[in-house]
């Protein structure tokens, strides 16, 4: 998408006016991306029952570990752990409001036929609308949906393009699952105080992108990428064998296909028990 879709004018204007100039804006954007990556990870852990108690020391270490993996400065720990807690409660409210049944979360889909891959945040079944408690269960319309989480406040045209690119991947991987709706979801900085009735408002922004999807635009962008930017992976140097005194160094090095290098590296990481985010 970065190679085939133009930078939104709003982003260009924001970067041009950012204190410290372009480099400072770029650094801030990269920091925000790390924060968003952690939010996605926390959400996936929540669905799998892996998030520690929110008021525990374990939770702080849990967030600190995720920050270290993202190489994020620990000075943001206080702000980010607070953001993750609030975002998580907003997510829980969304799941309740739409009676969401999650089928897959943070699933990586690859298509040889289409020539691209993507990591889909949520494939789910949910209510078509936010019904009231008085709406009978048999009157609530259930739909198959794809949802993309955004940690930032703002929506852009590229978000609907991204969802449009996900749908062919989903249809290929799960041919019996027809995507009927597509959404973007953003956390909101809700008020940290209950209303006069003692109720909390764990708010969020949910943007229905269903009518903004364009599978034709997505297919043309993919074709453009494959035409102009796609490159076959180059061979990779692989070190192999046991070095011994008097041996020939040429016997300890060879080039292998990228696929072979990637597979052997993956198995090595698994054998060593390394965590792979």
- Tens digits of residue pLDDT in 47-84: 999 999 999 999 999 999 999 999 999 999 999 999 99
Does residue 1 fall inside a structural domain? no
Contacts of 142 (CB under 8 A, 6+ apart): 125, 126, 127, 128
Does residue 168 fall inside a structural domain? yes
What mean pLDDT do residues 188-197 have? 92
Same domain, 208 and 259: no
Same domain, 23 and 129: yes
**Does the pLDDT at position 247 exceed 90?**
yes
Same domain, 148 and 20: yes
Does residue 15 fall inside a structural domain? yes
> Model confidence at 158, in pLDDT bands (50, 70, 90)?
confident
- For residue 218, the enclosing domain spans 9-228
Same domain, 184 and 79: yes
Same domain, 220 and 247: no
The more confidently predicted of residues 194 and 5 is: 194
Same domain, 160 and 243: no
Phi, psi dihedral angles at 261 (to 5 degrees) = -60, -45
Nearest one of 202, 208, 209 to 94, comparing CA atoms = 202
Same domain, 267 and 136: no
**Does the pLDDT at position 122 exceed 70?**
yes
Question: What is this structure's pTM?
Answer: 0.84
Output the average pLDDT for the chain.
91
Does residue 277 fall inside a structural domain? no
Query: What b/e readout covers 135-152, taking b as 16+ CB neighbours within 10 angstroms?
Result: eeeeeeeebbbbbbbbbe
The more confidently predicted of residues 265 and 92 is: 92
- Cβ(11)–Cβ(153) below 8 Å: no
**253: exposed, middle or buried (C-beta count within 10 Å: 0-12, 13-18, 19+)?**
exposed
Taking the C-alpha atoms of residue 14 and residue 35, their distance in angstroms, rounded to an integer, is 19
Count of the separate structural domains present in the chain: 2
Does residue 248 fall inside a structural domain? yes
Same domain, 127 and 257: no
Same domain, 222 and 248: no
CA-CA-CA-CA dihedral for 13, 19, 21, 25, to nearest 10: -70
Which pLDDT score is estimated for 274? 77
Which pLDDT score is estimated for 2? 75
- The share of the chain scoring above pLDDT 90, in percent, equals 66
Same domain, 198 and 262: no
Does residue 4 fall inside a structural domain? no
Does residue 276 fall inside a structural domain? no
- Lowest mean pLDDT, pick from 41-45, 182-186, 204-208, 211-215: 211-215
Does residue 3 fall inside a structural domain? no
What token pair was written down for 65?
Answer: 């570990």
Which pLDDT score is estimated for 275? 67
Same domain, 146 and 266: no
> Model confidence at 134, in pLDDT bands (50, 70, 90)?
confident
Same domain, 16 and 85: yes
């Amino acid at each position: 998408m970065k190679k085939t879709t133009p930078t939104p004018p709003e982003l260009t204007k924001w970067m041009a006016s950012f204190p410290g100039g372009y480099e400072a804006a770029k650094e801030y954007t990269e920091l925000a991306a790390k924060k968003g990556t952690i939010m996605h990870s926390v959400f996936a852990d929540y669905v799998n029952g892996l998030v520690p108690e929110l008021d525990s020391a374990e939770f702080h270490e849990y967030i600190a570990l995720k920050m270290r993996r993202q190489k994020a400065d620990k000075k943001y720990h206080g702000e980010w752990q607070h953001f993750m807690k609030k975002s998580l409660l907003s997510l829980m409210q969304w799941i309740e409001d739409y009676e969401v049944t999650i089928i897959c979360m943070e699933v990586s889909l690859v298509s040889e036929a289409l020539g691209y891959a993507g990591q889909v945040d949520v494939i789910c079944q949910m209510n078509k609308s936010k019904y009231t408690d008085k709406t009978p269960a048999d009157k609530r319309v259930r739909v198959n949906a794809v949802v993309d989480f955004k940690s930032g406040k703002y929506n852009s045209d590229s978000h609907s393009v991204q969802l449009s690119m996900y749908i062919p991947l989903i249809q290929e991987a799960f041919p019996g699952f027809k995507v009927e709706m597509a959404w973007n979801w953003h956390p909101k900085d809700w008020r940290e105080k209950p209303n006069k009735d003692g109720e909390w408002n764990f708010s969020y922004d949910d943007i229905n992108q269903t009518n903004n999807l364009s599978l034709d635009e997505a297919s043309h962008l993919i074709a453009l990428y494959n035409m102009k930017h796609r490159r076959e992976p180059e061979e990779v140097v692989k070190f192999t064998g046991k070095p011994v005194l008097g041996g020939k160094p040429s016997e300890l090095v060879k080039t292998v296909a990228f696929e072979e290098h990637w597979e052997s590296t993956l198995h090595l990481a698994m054998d060593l028990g390394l965590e792979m985010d």
